[in-house]
Amino acid sequence: MSLAILASVQLETQWRLPSAILASLQLLFWGYIPAVILGVPIAILIGKNRLSYHIFRRLFQIPGTIPSIVLLPLALLAFKQTQIAIIFISFISALLQIIIHTSMGVRQFQQNSNSLGVSYIFTGLRLGIRVAWFAVIAAEMLAGTRGIGFSIWEAYKLKKVSDLIVAILYLSITSFLLDQLLELGGYVASQLFPEEQKEDSGD
């Protein structure tokens, strides 16, 4: 009987962290994907026009300087549900970073090229997913009931050092893979849509 219980505990431990990672990724992408769909077109429109760029860049930088995790209490009060609040934090975190950094890249590239600068767009997407991912993990630690952030905090509270280290390793590997996936996407997109340099007018 004791061997059966031990095997059951080991099996549960084996699947707990992958399930936690998937739960966190679900919250991340429910916020991140809408942020990409909304943020990239806005950033391109802002970056293509010099006047709008100088106006809106500063407007978005004001909330962009505030750590998005501080909005968690307001999100919890507004939405009443922890998971929806974390999705909102993921959305806001990604949206602001995508708009700010993608518009900066597009504007810089507009001065030397006739294309939109796909590589700059993906740089904004990478920064957006990093900030959103960090925000999701922090929110899970503070208010979550599942996810890798919650698992890390629970392991700390229960002083399970081995579980804590393994959870951090899972988180690190997932973060690396997310970044590499977007880097690969940016490379592929840049090959499909090569950047065209503007012709020198001779002035």
Predicted local distance difference test score (pLDDT) of residue 171: 95
* Domain range summary for the chain, segments of one domain joined by +: 19-192
Q: Does residue 195 carry a pLDDT above 70?
A: no
Go through the chain and tell me how many residues it has: 203
Range ranked top by mean pLDDT from 14-18, 105-109, 179-183: 179-183
State the Cα–Cα distance between residues 106 and 44, nearest whole angstrom: 6
- Condensed to tens digits (0 to 9), the pLDDT of residues 13-23 reads 556 889 999 99
Q: Does residue 90 carry a pLDDT above 90?
A: yes
Instruction: Give the global pTM.
Output: 0.83
Mean pLDDT to the nearest integer, 73-95? 94
Query: Which class does domain 19-192 fall in?
Result: mainly alpha
Predicted local distance difference test score (pLDDT) of residue 46: 86
Q: Residue-wise over 43-80: b if at least 16 C-beta within 10 A, else e?
A: bbebbeeeeebeebbeebeeebeeebbebbeebbeeee
**Burial class of residue 172 (count of CB atoms within 10 Å of its CB; 0-12, 13-18, 19+):** exposed
Instruction: Please give the radius of gyration of the chain, using alpha carbons only, rounded to the nearest integer.
Output: 21
- Output DSSP code: residue 111: T
Predicted local distance difference test score (pLDDT) of residue 112: 58
State the Cα–Cα distance between residues 153 and 167, nearest whole angstrom: 10
Mean pLDDT to the nearest integer, 88-115? 81
